[in-house]
């Protein structure tokens, strides 16, 4: 897919790009889109619950903010991942001159790109957790007629958070004990618990 | 701890309503003039640079000209509560003149039109910022953390030592207060011959 932001593309074009034999967009962008859809559903339920829930307008505003953040990350995740892959490829096959002249600097640049490739899915995971939390509250206090949509939102947000946490783990490689990995897993767990609570309530 | 006289004066002036500030400026109070420039400099800067995307040197010229005209024409302001819209209108007009002079755009063409649109957004943002200051500190803090600093509920909960499950509803209630504050503010008419 070209440099145009994914948000400026049609959904069809984005889905074609996801399926194309290209490096990006990939899992991170798909996770971000999933969380953005979940946040959109929460906004829809909250907006439809103004008559029965006084916090509904404020919850809708928060959901729209989470949707904006998640959708922006569709693009940034793909870009960060492409840059990390390029850096990894260059590091795996350096020219002798490159090693001599730029060794330490190149390692630092590679490190920076891998860090960014992990930081973005971490953000997606945290937005997913917040969205699942908001979905659960919306399902509990919002208009009952929309509870199924809130439940879907919680499930999608939890799925997106889990997917993103997995990418954080992969992108951070072997760094067991990294604080960001713990944060990603905490977000995954919080999102899963919120979704499960929501599902249990309507069973 | 005792505050110095200067600090007390500045903090007292910063709490004055626009209309009161205008009155003091008209009476020749130099500190009030400093407060007026301080209060509106960010706004004028935002309109010139973000709204109309003027070059740095053009933005600086407009900035100087706006406050020079405010100084010389303040007596023409018919409604002292309308200080901000008046300064906004003055800034927009001078920005459009600046674009025309520099040959980048003629008034009425896309760049000037986009500038007006972006200025409307800046006006809205400034109104929200002003209304925020009327909210309880706890509300200002939590809204700033979520909407401006993009913090997650978990981070807010941990840093403010609040139960995680209450963050979203606290934000929602603070937004409700912000809305009431914004709705309580009447739109002042633009009032000047300038």
What's the CATH code of the domain at B47?
1.10.1740.10
How far is Cα B83 from Cα B74, in angstroms, rounded to an integer?
Answer: 9
CATH of the domain at B188: 1.10.10
Considering chain A, what is the average pLDDT of its residues?
Answer: 87
B150 shares its domain with B100: no
Contact A58 B153 (CB under 8 A): no
pLDDT at residue B114, rounded to an integer:
74
pLDDT at residue B22, rounded to an integer:
93
B172 shares its domain with B107: no
How far is Cα A80 from Cα A158, in angstroms, rounded to an integer?
Answer: 23
| Percentage of chain A exceeding pLDDT 90 | 54
Token pair belonging to A72: 């922006």
Please provide the DSSP assignment of A121-146 as one string: HHHHHHHHHHHHHHHHHHHHHS-GGG
For tokens 């003629």, what's the residue? B106
pLDDT digit string, tens, across residues B60-81: 999 999 999 999 999 888 888 8
B96 shares its domain with B32: yes
Please provide the DSSP assignment of B15-44 as one string: TS-HHHHHHHHHTT-HHHHHHHHHHHHHHH
Classify B77 as helix, strand or coil. Answer: strand
Cα distances (angstroms) measured from residue B62 to each of A46, B90, B100, B102, B153: 45, 10, 13, 13, 42
B119 shares its domain with B141: no
pLDDT digit string, tens, across residues A80-104: 877 877 777 777 776 666 666 666 5
Long-range (24+ apart) CB contacts under 8 A made by B56-65 are B58/B98, B58/B102, B61/B98, B62/B91, B62/B94, B62/B95, B62/B98, B65/B94
Can you give the residue range of the structural domain that contains B39? 5-133
How far is Cα B135 from Cα B142, in angstroms, rounded to an integer?
Answer: 11
By C-alpha distance, the chain A residue nearest B176 is A58
Neighbours of A105 (CB within 10 A): 9
| Percentage of chain A exceeding pLDDT 70 | 89
CB-based contact B62:B38 (threshold 8 Å): no
Token pair belonging to B23: 């009155």
Contact B175 A134 (CB under 8 A): no
Q: How far, in whole angstroms, is CA B190 from its chain's centroid? A: 16
How far is Cα A100 from Cα A97, in angstroms, rounded to an integer?
Answer: 5
Best mutation target, B139, B172, B173, B174, to test chain A (most A CBs within 10 A): B172
Sorted by where each starts, the structural domains of chain A and their CATH numbers stand as 6-202 (1.20.120.680)
B12 shares its domain with B71: yes
Token pair belonging to B47: 């309109």
Final residue belonging to a domain, choices B113, B133, B153: B133
Give yes or no for B172 touching A (CB within 8 A): yes
pLDDT digit string, tens, across residues A53-78: 999 999 999 999 999 999 999 888 77
Final residue belonging to a domain, choices B111, B133, B155: B133
Contact B169 A130 (CB under 8 A): no
B127 shares its domain with B156: no
Give yes or no for A83 touching B (CB within 8 A): no
| Tens of pLDDT, residue by residue, chain A (203 residues) | 554 577 778 888 889 988 998 877 889 999 999 999 999 999 999 999 999 999 999 999 999 999 999 999 988 877 887 787 777 777 777 666 666 666 656 667 777 777 788 889 999 999 999 999 999 999 999 999 999 999 999 999 999 999 999 999 887 775 667 888 899 999 999 999 999 998 888 77
Which is nearest to B162 in space by CA: B172, B154, B151, B174? B154
How far away is chain B from the Cα of A50, in angstroms, using its nearest Cα?
Answer: 12
CA dihedral over A67, A68, A69, A74, signed as positive or negative: positive
B126 shares its domain with B186: no
pTM, full prediction? 0.71
With beta carbons under 8 A apart, name residues in chain B contacting A187: 152, 154
B62 shares its domain with B147: no
Mean pLDDT throughout B18-47? Answer: 91
Residues 62-81 of A with CB under 8 A from B: 62, 65, 69
B172 shares its domain with B76: no
Contact B153 A65 (CB under 8 A): no
With beta carbons under 8 A apart, name residues in chain A contacting B179: 57
With beta carbons under 8 A apart, name residues in chain B contacting A127: 152
Q: Give chain B's domain count.
A: 2
Final residue belonging to a domain, choices B118, B133, B148: B133
Give yes or no for A138 touching B (CB within 8 A): no
pLDDT digit string, tens, across residues B93-108: 899 889 888 776 555 5
What secondary structure, in 3-state letters, does B114-162 show? HHHHHHHHHHHHHHHHHHHCCCCHHHHHHHHHHHHCCCCHHHHHHHHCC
pLDDT at position B191 over 50:
no
pLDDT at residue A184, rounded to an integer:
93
Which of A122-126, B1-5, B64-68, B148-152 is predicted least confidently?
B1-5
Neighbours of A148 (CB within 10 A): 12
Stated length of chain B: 194
B129 shares its domain with B175: no
B123 shares its domain with B148: no
B52 shares its domain with B141: no
């Amino acid at each position: 897919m070209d440099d145009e932001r994914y948000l400026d593309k049609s959904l069809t074009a984005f889905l074609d790009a996801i399926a194309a034999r290209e490096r990006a967009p990939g899992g991170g962008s798909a996770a971000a889109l999933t969380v953005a859809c979940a946040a959109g559903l929460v906004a829809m339920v909250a907006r439809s619950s103004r008559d029965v829930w006084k916090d509904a307008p404020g919850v809708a505003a928060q959901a729209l903010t989470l949707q904006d953040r998640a959708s922006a990350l569709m693009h940034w995740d793909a870009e960060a991942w492409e840059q990390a892959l390029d850096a990894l490829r260059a590091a795996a096959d350096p020219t002798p001159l490159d090693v001599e002249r730029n060794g330490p600097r190149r390692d630092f640049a590679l490190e920076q790109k891998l860090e960014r490739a992990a930081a973005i899915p971490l953000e997606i995971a945290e937005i997913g957790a917040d969205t699942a939390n908001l979905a659960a509250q919306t399902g509990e206090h919002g208009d009952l007629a929309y509870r199924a949509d809130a439940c879907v939102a919680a499930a999608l947000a939890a799925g997106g958070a889990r997917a993103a946490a997995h990418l954080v783990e992969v992108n951070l490689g072997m760094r067991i004990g990294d604080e960001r990995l713990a944060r990603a897993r905490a977000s995954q767990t919080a999102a899963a618990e919120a979704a499960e609570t929501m599902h249990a309530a309507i069973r | 701890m005792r505050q110095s006289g200067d600090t007390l004066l500045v903090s007292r002036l910063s709490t004055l309503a626009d209309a009161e500030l205008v009155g003091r400026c008209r009476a020749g109070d130099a500190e009030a003039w400093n407060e007026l420039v301080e209060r509106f400099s960010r706004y004028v800067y935002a309109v010139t640079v973000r709204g109309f995307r003027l070059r740095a040197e053009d933005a600086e010229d407009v900035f100087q000209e706006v406050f020079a005209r405010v100084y010389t024409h303040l007596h023409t302001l018919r409604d002292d509560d309308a200080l901000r819209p008046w300064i906004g209108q003055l800034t927009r007009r001078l920005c459009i003149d600046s674009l025309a002079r520099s040959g980048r755009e003629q008034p009425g063409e896309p760049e000037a039109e986009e500038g007006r649109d972006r200025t409307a957004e800046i006006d809205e943002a400034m109104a929200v910022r002003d209304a925020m200051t009327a909210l309880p500190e706890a509300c200002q803090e939590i809204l700033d953390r979520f909407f401006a600093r993009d913090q997650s509920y978990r981070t807010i909960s941990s840093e403010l030592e609040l139960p995680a499950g209450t963050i979203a509803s606290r934000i929602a209630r603070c937004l409700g207060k912000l809305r009431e504050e914004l709705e309580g503010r009447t739109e002042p008419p633009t009032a000047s011959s300038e």
